[in-house]
Amino acid sequence: MNPTGATYAGKLALITGSRRGVGRLVAEHILRNGGRVAGFARGESTIDHPGYHHFQVDIGDPASVQQGFAALKKVSDAVHIVINNAAVLTSQYAMIMPPAQAQAMINTNLMGAFMVSREASKLMRKGKWGRIINIGSMAVSLEPIGDSVYAACKAGLTTLANVMAKELAPLNITCNTLSITAIKTDMLAQLPGDKIDAVIAGLPIPRYAEPDDIFNIIDFLASERSAYITAQTIYMGGVN
Ligand SMILES: NC(=O)c1ccc[n+]([C@@H]2O[C@H](COP(=O)([O-])OP(=O)(O)OC[C@H]3O[C@@H](n4cnc5c(N)ncnc54)[C@H](OP(=O)(O)O)[C@@H]3O)[C@@H](O)[C@H]2O)c1
């Protein structure tokens, strides 16, 4: 962390899923370090900070995303950093997965990130600078039973970033994916703890992720220092 607390000075980061879990942790980190944050989530704000602007948006609904951007533009005409973090998880065997739950994962986890990146990149183009960071998952590599659609969405997120990286490189916008390991949030609490413990025990670095593990990579990917890094996926904890 920059000792001046100003790592993000002058920057506005749009974070989806900023109400809880990883999104909230990252939002508070950026606010602590001098940035402004626009948060998109379905529910009401849980962050009280003068640099935080909350927008109730269902990213799984393209019209809601466009309304969110219209409201955001009244607060800021620039978005410098996007963190596509919001996601939903239903873990179930494919044969009994309710189609509506599968569709909800596709709408939020993949289409939502596409819509937010699409709209944000138009604003980044005007500012001739941008960083898009997708939050992926170790599920892409581990391919856990029950997570066919979730893992496929997360794999799709990497492809989305990689193709958009080519389209947006001439505009000085980078697109990368941070694939995170298990970290204690509401989403993780949905899964059986003993099974997650066993997965973690099998990782090259056999521990749960800590907030700082995530902040360190986001700080780099969001900074000037990563200007020559695009279309890359970083796996945490030695997953590959
Ligand atoms: N936790 C882990 O162990 C783990 C491991 C690997 C990857 N990940 C990934 O890390 C990211 C964060 O996960 P988390 O554990 O922090 O999840 P979480 O605790 O369940 O929080 C999810 C956040 O996403 C928001 N959200 C969900 N659907 C939305 C929608 N349609 N529109 C707008 N916002 C929506 C929620 O907003 P509301 O509060 O308004 O519902 C909430 O703020 C996700 O991409 C997840 O796939 C997590």
Residue 234 has what pLDDT? 97
Residue 1 has what pLDDT? 45
Point out which residues pair with 135 in neighbouring strands. Answer: 178
Domain ranges of the chain: 12-235
Instruction: Tell me how far apart the terminal alpha carbons of the chain are, to the nearest angstrom.
Output: 27
What is the Å distance from ligand 1's center to 182 Cα? 12
Residue 218: phi and psi, rounded to 5, are -65, -40
Residue 99 has what pLDDT? 98
CA distances from 13 to 38, 159, 189, 222, 238 (A): 6, 22, 27, 9, 28
Atom of ligand 1 nearest to the CA of 24: 43
231 three-state secondary structure: coil
Residues with CB under 6 A from ligand 1: 16-17, 19-23, 40-43, 57-60, 85-88, 108, 112, 135, 137-138, 180, 182-183, 185-188
- Residue with CA at minimum distance from ligand 1 atom 16: 21
Residue 240 has what pLDDT? 87
The residues, ordered by sequence, that sit 6+ positions from 209 with a Cβ below 8 Å of its Cβ are: 180, 181, 182, 183, 236, 237
Residue 5 has what pLDDT? 65
- 150 is an active site residue: yes
- Residue with CA at minimum distance from ligand 1 atom 8: 137
Q: Which of 16, 11, 186, 183 is nearest to 84 (CA)?
A: 16
Residue 209 has what pLDDT? 97
DSSP codes of every residue in 65-79: HHHHHHHHHHH-S--
pLDDT in tens, the chain (240 residues): 444 568 999 999 999 999 999 999 999 999 999 999 999 999 999 999 999 999 999 999 999 999 999 999 999 999 999 999 999 999 999 999 999 999 999 999 999 999 999 999 999 999 999 999 999 999 999 999 999 999 999 999 999 999 999 999 999 999 999 999 999 999 999 999 999 999 999 999 999 999 999 999 999 999 999 999 999 999 999 998
- Residue with CA at minimum distance from ligand 1 atom 4: 182
State the catalytic residue, choosing from 8, 52, 150, 235: 150
Q: If you classify domain 12-235 with CATH, what class do you get?
A: alpha beta
